[in-house]
């Protein structure tokens, strides 16, 4: 397997087609337009593909923000290659690309309900949560996100800071816990509490859409209100509970 930066016409169409398969689009819908990818790459932005031999199995798209840092907009891995470390390889390729001209940070957004992504972002890489963005992209029509609000956590990865270990959060009270498969709202007081996520939001969207929406609204309320009150998300446990603390 290898990763290389892209920019020619054929590769931009290959990336657009790969993203369509990852997000299970049909009827010619595209996650991103290949002509836009071509223009972005031509003007010095980030477009890279992961290959198994000559087969494109993953790709990542990013652009440079006003202050110069790299914003990673979208990354997708072919279904049969997910869970094999391709996302990690692409993120570290981004890191090298950002560091080469002296940039020291990468930002991106992710769905706060997907706990495995949160764990990877916060503890495998070392990104920190900066903001909660409710329904950031508006209605999304792909088959992965359709029917759900596009809430996102905005994170920044300081490339010169080591990641922190995952918390255990033992004996930390829950602002939002689990009641079976559903959310359970608590009312803790103090300098730290946890906010649970569903065990598998992607499956839940298919099997119980109404419960998926309940989780979305419960997590949105808990995290956004806590951040507004001065708490910080300092990590997520292995079993999918965000730890929020007041930092001194």
Q: Which two tokens stand for residue 217?
A: 């609204």
Residue 142: the pLDDT is 57
Backbone φ and ψ for 107, nearest 5 degrees, come out as -120, 160
Q: What are phi and psi of 235, to 5 degrees?
A: 165, 180
Residue 63, exposed/middle/buried by CB under 10 A (0-12, 13-18, 19+)? middle
pLDDT score of 31: 82
Instruction: Provide the whole-model pTM.
Output: 0.91
- CA–CA separation, 172 vs 194, rounded Å? 7
CB count within 10 Å of CB 209 equals 13
Tell me what pLDDT residue 189 has: 84
Per residue of the chain (248 residues), give pLDDT as tens. 899 999 999 999 999 999 988 987 766 578 889 999 999 999 999 999 999 999 999 999 999 999 999 999 999 999 999 999 999 999 999 999 999 989 999 999 999 999 999 999 999 999 999 999 999 888 666 555 556 789 999 999 999 999 999 999 999 999 999 999 999 999 888 899 999 999 999 899 889 999 999 999 999 999 999 999 999 999 999 999 999 999 87
Helix (H) or strand (E) holding 16: helix 9-22
Q: What's the distance, Cα to Cα, between the start and end of the chain in Å? A: 45
Long-range contacts of residues 86-93, Cβ cutoff 8 Å, at least 24 apart: 86/1, 86/50, 86/57, 86/58, 87/58, 87/120, 88/120, 88/124, 89/1, 89/3, 89/50, 90/3, 90/48, 90/50, 90/58, 90/59, 90/60, 91/60, 91/125, 93/3, 93/48, 93/60
Per-residue confidence (pLDDT) for residue 148, from 0 to 100: 75
Give the pLDDT confidence score for residue 248 in this predicted structure: 73
pLDDT of res. 82: 92
Query: What does the pLDDT read at residue 66?
Result: 93
Pairing of the two strands 105-110 and 70-77: parallel
Instruction: Supply the pLDDT for residue 67.
Output: 94
Q: Which domains does the chain have, with CATH numbers?
A: 2-158 (3.40.630.30), 174-245 (no CATH)
* pLDDT in the model for residue 209: 92
Q: If you write DSSP's letter for every residue of 168-218 in order, what string do you get?
A: --TTPPEEEEEETTEEEE----SSEEEEE--S-HHHHHHH-HHHHHHHHHH
Say if residue 191 is exposed, middle or buried (CB neighbours under 10 Å; 0-12, 13-18, 19+).
Answer: exposed
């Amino acid at each position: 397997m290898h990763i290389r930066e892209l920019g020619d016409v054929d590769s931009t169409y290959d990336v657009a087609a790969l993203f369509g398969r990852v997000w299970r689009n049909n009827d010619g819908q595209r996650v991103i337009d290949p002509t836009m990818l071509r223009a972005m790459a031509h003007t010095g932005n980030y477009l890279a593909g992961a290959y198994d031999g000559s087969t494109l199995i993953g790709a990542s798209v990013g652009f440079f923000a006003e202050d110069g840092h790299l914003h990673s907009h979208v990354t997708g891995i072919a279904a049969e290659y997910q869970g094999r470390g391709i996302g990690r390889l692409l993120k570290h390729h981004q890191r090298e690309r950002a560091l080469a001209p002296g940039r020291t940070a990468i930002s991106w957004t992710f769905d706060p309900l997907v706990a495995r992504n949160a764990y990877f972002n916060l503890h495998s890489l070392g990104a920190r949560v900066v903001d909660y963005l409710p329904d950031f992209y508006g209605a999304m029509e792909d088959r992965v996100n359709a029917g759900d609000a596009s809430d996102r956590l905005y994170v920044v990865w300081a490339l010169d800071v080591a990641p922190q270990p995952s918390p255990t959060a033992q004996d930390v009270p829950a602002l939002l816990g689990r009641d079976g498969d559903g959310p359970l709202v608590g009312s803790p007081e103090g300098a730290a509490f946890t906010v649970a996520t569903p065990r598998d939001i992607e499956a839940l969207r298919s099997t119980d859409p109404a419960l998926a929406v309940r989780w979305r609204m419960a997590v949105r309320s808990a995290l956004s209100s806590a951040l507004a009150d001065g708490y910080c998300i300092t990590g997520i446990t292995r079993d999918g509970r965000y730890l929020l603390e007041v930092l001194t």
